[in-house]
């Protein structure tokens, strides 16, 4: 029944789109499709942020030559919906940072590629350099580099590092945004950065100790010591969590004005508790870095974060153990203790994750849809930003359902033959599992639902 309904809705949407396309610039059947006029706008909005120098993809799609020389492949990957990667189901919810091509856009690319890739008025296009500038925030106020490059051995296995990146400032400083730029973008899979702030008189030397340790070879209790992240007296310094996160294709989340930002002091260290490098066949070194943008004013509404499921505020039910050769479903339920406004949601699972669904049920019984992923892909994990701030009233229950496929039919199964895969004490190894929903939010304020994230 629901399926029927959604088909009808889809059809209605298509009709509406066709109707408004009458006066848009979609060329008629017998007219030529031109790069500058028809194709560039699609590629620039949906592809170039990853397919550019600092992006996650291995080659640029910026100039006419870039795209024309790969026209057949571009037509193929868009038609098969392999690119742009967008795991969320657009028939369930839409997001401000959505990259999803309409059927018309896909058709246009097909026609252009089949019709000799005509350039059109390419002189009128934005130059690739300027396009790149408009795709990010411009010149940062500060660049913070790793103290040393990280060695990634060519042994074809995942590498998980915990990394300290110290930096000092002449005075207390307001920060608007922090962006992570992966060095070897083909290798850096993901990274979570927190800032540890030291009171200057409690920390004599920021730079001593190791700066990176292998997560799998170090006991978690000793990591802070080995990296020398404790105060001189052995106590923990305060930490601001998740100031910057990176996942394949994810841009740093730029929040609406007056939202987000930090005040930091003179002695600080980024603490990357989870820097994941994908397998490499050859020895490599990575020199990733941070771009920091200052703000003139103190942050008005600092962003908060919670996570549910693995290591989170509410448990996975039943315990996350997926027996060999089984497909198994798990749930997480969490009662929201106060009115909140959601800024981003991040579904998280590892390799054998298959489907993901999250919604909230209000005390009134109404449902607020969050996200549905019908075909989980470990490679694409985004910070999904609702189009406007999304209010979840106090007392609502966030419900998350996930299925995990531990059969031999799952091409992403890391083991052959399959063997039991479970959540292991928060292990982030991709061959163990995790099941989480990570939410960044603000305490709700009147008017939040009108604040756009587009």
Binding-site ranges for ligand HEC (CB under 6 A): 46-47, 50-51, 56-58, 61, 70, 73-74, 77-78, 83-85, 99, 248-249, 379
CA distances from 434 to 185, 221, 353, 397, 444 (A): 24, 21, 9, 21, 29
Asked if residues 419 and 322 have their Cβ atoms less than 8 Å apart, the reply is: no
Which of 88, 121, 90 has the alpha carbon at shortest distance from 105? 90
Nearer to ligand HEC, 78 or 436 (CB): 78
- ω into 84 cis (within 30 of 0): yes
Least gap, CB of 424 to ligand HEC (angstroms): 27
Nearer to ligand HEC, 74 or 357 (CB): 74
Least gap, CB of 95 to ligand HEC (angstroms): 13
Handedness of CA 373, 58, 125, 73 (dihedral sign): negative
Least gap, CB of 73 to ligand HEC (angstroms): 4
Nearer to ligand HEC, 135 or 324 (CB): 135
Nearer to ligand HEC, 79 or 226 (CB): 79
Least gap, CB of 64 to ligand HEC (angstroms): 14
Residue whose CB is nearest to ligand HEC in the complex, by number: 249
CA distances from 50 to 57, 112, 135, 349 (A): 5, 22, 10, 22
SS3 90: coil
Nearer to ligand HEC, 167 or 382 (CB): 382
Q: Which spans in 69-164 are helix H? A: 71-79, 103-114, 128-135
Least gap, CB of 211 to ligand HEC (angstroms): 28
Least gap, CB of 84 to ligand HEC (angstroms): 4
Residue 121, both tokens? 């008025």
Q: Are strands 421-422 and 321-322 parallel, antiparallel or unpaired?
A: antiparallel
SS3 265: coil
Nearer to ligand HEC, 84 or 312 (CB): 84
């Amino acid at each position: 029944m629901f399926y029927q309904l959604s088909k009808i809705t889809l059809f209605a949407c298509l009709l509406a789109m066709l109707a408004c396309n009458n006066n848009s610039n979609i060329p008629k059947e017998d007219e030529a499709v031109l790069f500058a006029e028809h194709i560039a706008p699609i590629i620039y909005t949906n592809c170039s942020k990853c397919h550019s120098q600092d992006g996650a993809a291995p080659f640029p799609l910026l100039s006419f030559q870039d795209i024309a020389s790969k026209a057949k492949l571009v037509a193929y990957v868009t038609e098969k919906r392999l690119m742009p990667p967008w795991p969320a189901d657009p028939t369930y919810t839409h997001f401000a940072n959505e990259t999803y091509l309409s059927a018309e856009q896909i058709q246009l690319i097909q026609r252009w590629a089949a019709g000799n890739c005509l350039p059109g008025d390419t002189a009128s296009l934005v130059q690739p350099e300027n396009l790149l500038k408009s795709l990010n925030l411009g010149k940062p106020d500060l660049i913070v580099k790793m103290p040393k490059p990280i060695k990634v051995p060519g042994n074809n296995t995942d590498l998980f590092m915990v990394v300290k990146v110290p930096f000092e400032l002449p005075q207390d400083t307001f920060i608007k945004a922090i962006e992570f730029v992966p060095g070897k973008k083909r290798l850096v899979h993901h990274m979570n950065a927190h800032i540890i702030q030291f009171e200057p008189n409690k920390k004599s030397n920021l730079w001593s100790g190791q700066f990176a340790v292998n997560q799998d070879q170090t006991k978690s209790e000793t990591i802070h010591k080995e990296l020398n992240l404790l105060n001189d007296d052995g106590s923990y310094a305060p930490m601001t969590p998740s100031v910057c996160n990176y996942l394949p294709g994810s841009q740093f989340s730029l929040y609406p004005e007056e939202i987000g930002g930090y005040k930091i002091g003179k002695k600080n260290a980024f603490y990357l508790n989870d820097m994941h490098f994908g397998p490499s066949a050859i020895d490599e070194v990575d020199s990733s870095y941070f771009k920091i943008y200052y703000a003139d004013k103190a942050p008005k509404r600092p962003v908060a974060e919670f996570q549910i499921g693995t290591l989170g505020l509410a448990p996975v039910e039943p315990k996350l153990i997926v027996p060999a050769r089984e497909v198994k479903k798990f749930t997480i339920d969490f009662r929201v203790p106060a009115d909140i406004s959601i800024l981003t949601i991040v579904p998280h699972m590892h390799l054998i994750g298959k489907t993901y669904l999250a919604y909230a049920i209000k005390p009134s019984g109404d449902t607020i849809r969050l996200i549905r992923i019908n075909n989980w892909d470990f490679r694409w994990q985004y910070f999904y930003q609702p189009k406007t701030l999304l209010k979840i009233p106090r007392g609502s229950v966030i419900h998350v359902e996930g299925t995990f496929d531990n059969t031999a039919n799952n091409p992403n199964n890391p083991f052959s033959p399959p063997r039991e895969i479970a959540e292991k004490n928060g292990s982030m190894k991709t061959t163990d599992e995790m099941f989480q929903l990570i939410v960044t939010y603000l305490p709700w304020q009147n008017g939040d639902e009108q604040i756009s994230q587009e």
